[in-house]
Amino acid sequence: MIRFSDRLPRTHSGLLHLEQEWDEKAKRFKADISVHIVRRIMPFFGTTAGDGGWRIAVVDPADALNRNAANALLKSLEEPPERAVLILIAETLGRLPPTIRSRCRVLRFNRLDGDGVASVLQHAGAPLPVGEERRLVLSLAQGSPRAALELLREDGLALYRQLVATLGSRDSRALHALAEQAGAPSQQAASRLLSFFADYAWRRVTGVAEPLMDHHPAVLPLASWVELWEKAVQRGREVESLNLDRRELILDLLETFFQARASAER
C-alpha cells in the first residue's frame, strides 16, 4: 500500500516533515499526531542546516494534533530559533487550539478542483475510480487529496452510504448498527462518521444538494440543522481531544436527529 506522502521528497537536511504515524497492521494512518512525533521539532531546530540556510518543519495535518502534542508544539511556537520556519497545514482551522492559532500567521489556499485532486492521487499511486464512484469521492473529499485517499483506502464510501441510509431509515436497529461502527478499536470509523455527519448537516444549513442524488434529506427547521452541526463539531472536538466514548456521541447525534425529524413531522 502506497502512502500519500511516500512520494514527497524527504532528503533535504533542512526539512522535517511530521504527520500521523502509519499503522502497518491496519494499513492506514493513525487518527492523530502524538506528542512523541512533535518532540522531534526541538532537536531538529537545535541543529544547523547543512548549507547554513533555513530549517523548515512541516506539520501536516496540524488539526490532527492531540492535546498533548498541541501543548508540546507551543514551546517551538513561543521561542522559535533564528532561521527556522514552522509550517502548520490544517484543513479545518477551528480544530486548532486558540493558543496555537494566535501564534501563527494564517495563509489561506483555495481547494483543488476535481482535476487537481485526480492528478495528486495519480502521482501518489492511487488513481480515482470512474463513473459514480469518482463523482462521490471528489464531492465528499471537498478538494482535499488526503481526504480522497482516505475515502478510497478505508472504504469510506460504504460508510457514507450507510450513514445516509440510516438517516433515511425508521428502523432503530439501523441506528444502533451504525453506532457500533464507532466502537471499532482503530477509531478511524468514528472520526469519519463524525466528519460525514457534520458535513451532512452543514449541507442542509447551506442548501447544498447531497452527493447521493437519489437521497432525499429530512425536512427540518434550519435551527435544528444548525444545532446538529454545532453538536457534531464541538462535541466531536471534545471526544477527539479527551479520548471519550465515540460510540456514545454517534448514538446521541443520531437520536437527536430522529427526535427532530419526528417533531417536524407532527
Helices (H), the chain: 35-38, 41-45, 67-78, 98-101, 114-123, 131-141, 145-153, 156-167, 172-181, 188-206, 222-242, 246-265
Task: Tell me what the mean pLDDT of segment 170-195 comes to.
Answer: 77
Q: What pLDDT sits at residue 224?
A: 94
pLDDT in the model for residue 5: 45
pLDDT digits (tens, 9 = 90+) for 142-175: 888 888 988 887 788 999 999 999 999 888 888 8
The pTM of the full predicted model, rounded to 2 decimals, is 0.68
- Check whether 222 has a pLDDT greater than 90: yes
Question: Taking residues 5-15, what's their average pLDDT?
Answer: 60
pLDDT of residue 171: 82
Cβ–Cβ under 8 Å, residues 239 and 252: no
Question: Residue 3: its pLDDT value, please?
Answer: 41
CATH (residue range 4-101): 3.40.50.300
Q: Select from 117, 87, 126 the least CA-distant residue to 6.
A: 126
